[in-house]
């Protein structure tokens, strides 16, 4: 950053937007292996929140690589940069009064904690979509595990690249056994318990 770049405060603040929206803004960060159900769960939660009157958006790992992060690959360095960019976009949405549902493998704890550190305290909530590797491989909705096992995909999380499980996630969802409806209910009840959304 150059010395000639300065922060410009806006007249309309996050608090103004939250008051008009009648709800808080925050980030739910869904992390887990490919095939663990992150995107499906994030989209189902989005539908529930949207239908109940919340401003909400899903940021999906594959989708952002079509635009914002189309220049990045899957090396450790590029994964770090991918998470940095998504973290900054998430912060902008939170400032705009929107609930962000970010669904990313995000295999490194350091990256997830860096996103948390860039947001005000209490605005980042880590949701661990816990699913056994064997189950993820059985699902293999994009045929990625099979290709990774054949050596056709390099740096594939869980096979040729590491996944660092959250140590103290805010919410754990066992996506190996629960139905999507049950998973959504767990999320919504936890958000109510944390007073992030109102009881309705």
Residue 35 marked ligand-binding:
yes
Contacts of residue 157, defined as CB under 8 A and 6 or more positions apart, other chains included, come to 33, 34, 105, 107, 163
Q: Is 129 helix (H, G, I), strand (E, B) or coil?
A: strand
Residue 67 marked ligand-binding:
no
Q: Are strands 171-174 and 124-130 parallel, antiparallel or unpaired?
A: parallel
Residue 32 marked ligand-binding:
yes
Cα 148 from Cα 136, distance rounded (Å): 13
Cα 63 from Cα 70, distance rounded (Å): 9
Residue 142 marked ligand-binding:
no
Residue 36 marked ligand-binding:
yes
Residue 97 marked ligand-binding:
no
Q: Is 30 helix (H, G, I), strand (E, B) or coil?
A: strand
The residues carrying an active-site annotation are 106
Which residues fall in the annotated binding site for ATP?
A: 32-39
Which residues fall in the annotated binding site?
A: 32-39
């Amino acid at each position: 950053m150059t010395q000639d770049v300065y922060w410009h405060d806006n007249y309309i603040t996050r608090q103004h937007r939250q008051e008009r929206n009648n709800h808080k803004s925050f980030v739910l960060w869904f992390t887990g292996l490919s095939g663990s159900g992150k995107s499906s769960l994030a989209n189902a939660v989005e539908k529930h929140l949207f239908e109940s009157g919340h401003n909400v958006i899903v940021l999906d790992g594959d989708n952002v690589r079509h635009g914002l992060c189309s220049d990045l690959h899957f090396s450790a360095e590029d994964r770090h940069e991918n998470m940095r960019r998504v973290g900054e976009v998430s912060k902008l949405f939170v400032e705009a009064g929107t609930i962000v549902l970010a669904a990313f493998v995000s295999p490194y704890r350091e990256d997830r904690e860096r996103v948390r550190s860039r947001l005000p305290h209490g605005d980042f909530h880590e949701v661990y979509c816990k699913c056994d590797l064997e189950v993820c491989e059985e699902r293999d909705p994009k045929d990625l595990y099979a290709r990774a096992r054949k050596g056709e995909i390099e740096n594939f999380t869980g096979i040729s690249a590491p996944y660092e499980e959250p140590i103290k996630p805010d919410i754990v969802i066992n996506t190996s056994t629960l139905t999507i409806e049950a998973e959504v209910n767990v999320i919504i009840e936890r958000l109510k318990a944390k007073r992030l959304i109102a009881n309705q």
